[in-house]
């Protein structure tokens, strides 16, 4: 009821203002943080995986040669996942000098634990040997080797009888054995040089055949 004296009515009390809710902002902040952590984790994990892949080894073929590679033969657009490993200490091997089953494996590529796996190929490669063929020194590949088919490579043109006695014995026993045709050919050329020295009675070769190997 109004004051009969006509005084002003008492002021109305205002309801207290509500504080803005901050829970929504906090929730979004946490979502952003979690998403960032996930992204960083994925990137870091991908980097580690990529490094592991690049640090692996596999064996393949290139231009007829067996090659040890780092990485993986798998192709990924935009990424270089393969490179040649250091081959400075590895015995060169031709794909054609391997047994047939290994040739196909190398052409298809296969993963290995590391450079030590190369020794397995070296042990199984079909080697070249200087042998006596109809009284002369010739070259064959794969003689008396498991999974290797003996194949004539170069006919003989140096009579064994003209060689120094020690060389002739090694030829007859098959002790001149090499990995790679080039090495065998070089050894045969060296035998020819020693044969020629015997013909000139070179004192540096003490076991030349009688008559200087001119027979």
For residue 212, the model assigns a pLDDT of 60
For residue 208, the model assigns a pLDDT of 96
pLDDT digit string (tens) for the chain, length 215 residues = 455 555 666 666 555 555 555 556 666 665 665 555 555 444 444 444 444 445 689 999 999 999 999 988 776 666 667 789 998 999 999 999 999 999 999 999 999 999 999 999 999 999 999 999 999 999 999 999 999 999 999 998 999 999 999 999 999 999 999 999 999 999 999 999 999 999 999 999 999 998 765 65
For residue 74, the model assigns a pLDDT of 72
Burial (CB < 10 A; 0-12, 13-18, 19+), residue 41, is exposed
For residue 45, the model assigns a pLDDT of 45
List the chain domain ranges.
57-73+81-124, 127-200
For residue 79, the model assigns a pLDDT of 64
């Amino acid at each position: 009821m109004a004051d009969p004296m006509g005084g002003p009515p008492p002021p109305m009390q205002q309801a207290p203002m509500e504080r803005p809710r901050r829970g929504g902002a906090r929730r979004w902040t946490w979502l952003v943080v979690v998403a960032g952590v996930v992204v960083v984790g994925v990137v870091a994990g991908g980097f580690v995986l990529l490094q592991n892949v690049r640090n692996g080894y596999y064996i393949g073929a290139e231009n007829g040669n067996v090659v040890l590679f780092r990485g993986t033969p798998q192709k990924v657009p935009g990424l270089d996942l393969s490179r040649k490993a250091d081959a400075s200490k590895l015995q060169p091997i031709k794909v054609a000098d391997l047994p047939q089953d290994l040739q196909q494996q190398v052409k298809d590529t296969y993963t290995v634990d590391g450079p030590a796996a190369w020794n397995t190929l070296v042990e199984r490669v079909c080697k070249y040997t200087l042998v006596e063929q109809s009284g002369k020194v010739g070259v064959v590949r794969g003689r008396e080797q498991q999974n290797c088919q003996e194949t004539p490579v170069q006919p003989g043109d140096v009579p064994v009888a003209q060689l120094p006695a020690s060389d002739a014995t090694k030829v007859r026993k098959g002790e001149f054995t090499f990995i790679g045709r080039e090495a065998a050919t070089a050894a045969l050329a060296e035998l020819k040089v020693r044969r020629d020295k015997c013909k000139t009675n070179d004192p540096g070769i003490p076991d030349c055949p009688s008559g200087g190997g001119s027979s």
